[in-house]
Homo-oligomer: A and B are copies of this chain.
Amino acid sequence: MDIADRRTAADPDMWNLATAIRALAMDAVEQANSGHPGMPMGMADVATVLFRNHLKFDASTPDWFDRDRFVLSAGHGSMLLYSLLHLTGYEDMTIEQLKNFRQLGAITAGHPEYGHAAGIETTTGPLGQGLATAVGMAIAEEAMRAEFGSDLCDHRTWVIAGDGCLMEGISQEAIGLAGRQELGRLIVMWDDNNITIDGRVSLSDKTDQKARFEASGWRVLECDGHDAKDIDRALTEAKKDDGRPVFVACKTIIGFGAPTKADSHKAHGSPLGGDEIAATRVAFGWNHSPFTIPHDVADAWRAIGAKGRDTREAWSARVDALGDDERAEFTRRIGNKVSPHLAPTIHALKEQTIAGAPKVATRKASENTLEVLNPEMPENFGGSADLTGSNNTFTKDLGIFSPENRTGRYINYGIREHGMAAAMNGIVLHGGFRPYGGTFMCFTDYARGAMRLSALMGVPTVYVMTHDSIGLGEDGPTHQPVEHLAICRATPNTLMLRPCDQVETAEAWEIALSRESTPSVLALSRQNLPTLRNEAGDENLSMKGAYVLREASAEPKVVLMATGSEVEIAVAARETLEAEGTPTRVVSVPSMELFREQDPEYRRQVLPGDTVRIAVEAAIRQPWDWLLLGERGREERSDFVGMTGFGGSAPAKDLYKHFGITAEAVVEKAKALL
């Protein structure tokens, strides 16, 4: 059917609603002289039907907890989302913002950025992330509904995904997890336009996507993505929750309506150009200047933005009707506010630890911490990428989250590090839970794409990364992180915590669970470590990032800095040096990021000038240079004991010796510089 026939056949109101989106998208891209017009033009009909007839939302209250979540996984089509937000009346999405698409300071970034504008549920653009994040949102919805009842939580998660999203590996992790978890309120609308940047999809793929989703337990529907009635039929059907997530294959034409560029990769990522836009306007029967929406169409869209008001107000009334305590807790939970139980629980654990001075791996110390926290903090939502017994992430009170037990608070994510990380982002973005999830530190490699989005969005996802060095031992170099501490420290807005014992591990959890806009990475040892902290104190010393763990017997001549499992080595080296008459201080550095935030006066106190400085960490040196050479350190008086290349396969003790990460090596290097 050509566009003239489409127009004749269409309901005029629906046609104009969708055309408004298309016009704004092509005009904004043209004005920016960059962007992606093809996808918004192709999916405008589907989005119109979704927003008009199905999506539960109220544009006047974007953060209404019980709204449906709408995730534009194909984030390059950002103008689809921005147009919808503008047209339905989201206050901050003004026409000026659309005119300033992709310009400095505008909230209309090239790809939707969480936090820039109300109505952007998650940052998308790196393909597949939106889909995988939406799985987390749907998990959180099920769990919150189970806990608080459908009067307070009763909504769906809708996703628009393109071929790029579905080719990325993360999509398989997401659909496998969603299928297993029977997330029947997750609905993915596939923009099946058969085009990628390089050309037709067939250049690189011949996967039968419908069969693929079915194979993972999804319900599959289809529709003509340019026929409003057919779309409506499919979306109506999709809302029937039968315990299977829903995949709606929407057959569309990229750049729909553009006379020479539609159905071609030329419509994907560049402005259409003045002539093509003019011809497209004619084809649509849209005689309005750029960025101009006729009143009747604007009014119709505003009405769509307001149609959820009654539902939202009824929900608010139900919240208001709750008892004070229940309402306060529900409000705290959906706002992801820090638990009042966190600090006292941690403090008690620290006191108890110092009395017992256990020798445990910090992964076990983490489990010990979770065992006291999880019963006190119903928002904690754990999991592991199939390493539960190794990551020590499960505590018995949690129960396993599954279709049969929606009040379970622990997920077997499967062997899906990337999918797990994205799902955790979705859980925290949804609100109600604080997700944490484990894998081996080395497999941050597999999760990087989503971990970076935690940081960019500023969401407090907690990564429990165990086996954080060659201390992993026999599994060998494929499983031994060497550069990964540097990678996490290099990533903006990411808090890397590497505690040295049970006390610091408890403190690290307190820090991670206190954060509201920073993800945390807990780097934890496989091997047992002694309790090194002698007093609990009232203060969380790890919050300072670095602090004096063992003071020198006199004005320090040597300062040893270390993290995690290497603090023990520094402490042993100190004893030798002190015994030989060299006053030596040990500084524990659980977090470089937090130390950097301290005032310079404190930093100078901890790291005085004019001493020998040695840093010890079973990883590469790159992040240590600033503490060794800067902050008044000097090249000729500093050295590093750590790794310079990949690890090896052997018992941990043998590896530490082989790579020269020993107290003896520290002492020797210190003495050479004295």
Contacts and interface: CB of A to CB of B under 8 A. Distances in A.
Contact of A109 (B34, B487, B648): B648
A442 B110 CA distance: 15
B163 A167 contact: no
A490 B486 contact: yes
A426 to B, nearest CB: 16
Contacts of A202: 180
Interface in A203-237: 203-209, 211-212, 214-217
Contacts of A650: 102-105
A177 interface: yes
The interface centre, meaning the residue of A208, A384, A475 with most chain B CB atoms within 10 A of its CB, is: A475
A388 B173 contact: no
A645 B180 contact: no
A83 interface: no
Contact of A111 (B449, B453, B476): B476
A448 interface: yes
Contact of A474 (B32, B176, B180): B32
B414 A486 contact: no
A478 interface: yes
A488 to B, nearest CB: 9
A196 B413 CA distance: 11
B630 A635 contact: yes
A431 interface: no
Contacts of A442: 126
A389 interface: yes
A179 interface: yes
Given A204-B180, A473-B34, A646-B493, A75 B412 contact: no
A53 interface: no
A492 B659 CA distance: 15
A61 interface: no
B389 A205 contact: no
A378 interface: no
Contacts of A206: 179-180, 216-217
A404 to B, nearest CB: 12
Interface string A146-170: 0000000000000000011001111
Contact of A172 (B169, B487, B490): B169
A127 B113 CA distance: 32
A198 interface: yes
A248 B66 CA distance: 46
A126 B635 contact: no
B113 A477 contact: yes
Contacts of A635: 629-633
A490 B487 contact: yes
Given A164-B415, A386-B196, A478 B125 contact: yes
A207 to B, nearest CB: 5
B477 A386 contact: no
Interface string A635-646: 100000000111
A587 interface: no
Nearest to A623: B622
Number of copies: 2
Contact of A169 (B209, B216, B416): B416
Nearest to A635: B630
Contact of A487 (B388, B412, B487, B649): B487
B34 A113 contact: no
Contacts of A171: 169, 172
A491 interface: yes
Contacts of A625: 622, 625-626, 629-630
B167 A176 contact: yes
Nearest to A169: B169
Contacts of A326: none
A251 to B, nearest CB: 18
B630 A204 contact: no
Contacts of A524: none
Contacts of A626: 622, 625, 629
Nearest to A481: B452
Nearest to A418: B169
A487 to B, nearest CB: 5
A445 interface: yes
A477 to B, nearest CB: 6
Contact of A170 (B169, B204, B654): B169
A389 B649 CA distance: 43
A273 interface: no
Contacts of A476: 102, 109-111, 113, 125
B35 A490 contact: no
B629 A478 contact: no
Contacts of A486: 486-487, 490, 622
A56 B205 CA distance: 30
A198 B646 contact: no
Interface of A: 32, 34-35, 75-76, 102-106, 109-111, 113, 123-127, 163-164, 167-173, 176-177, 179-180, 196-199, 202-209, 211-212, 214-217, 384, 386-390, 400, 412-419, 442-443, 445-446, 448-449, 452-453, 455-456, 473-479, 482-483, 486-487, 489-493, 620, 622-623, 625-626, 629-633, 635, 644-646, 648-651, 654-655, 658
Given A76-B475, A168-B446, A171-B172, 6 more contacts: A102-B476, A125-B476, A168-B416, A205-B216, A208-B216, A626-B629
24 contacts: A104-B649, A111-B479, A124-B478, A167-B173, A168-B416, A169-B169, A169-B170, A169-B416, A169-B446, A176-B204, A180-B205, A180-B206, A198-B412, A199-B412, A205-B414, A206-B217, A207-B216, A208-B216, A211-B214, A456-B477, A456-B478, A483-B492, A486-B487, A626-B629
Closest 9 CB pairs of A and B: A169-B169, A204-B414, A625-B625, A629-B629, A109-B649, A172-B172, A125-B478, A104-B650, A211-B215
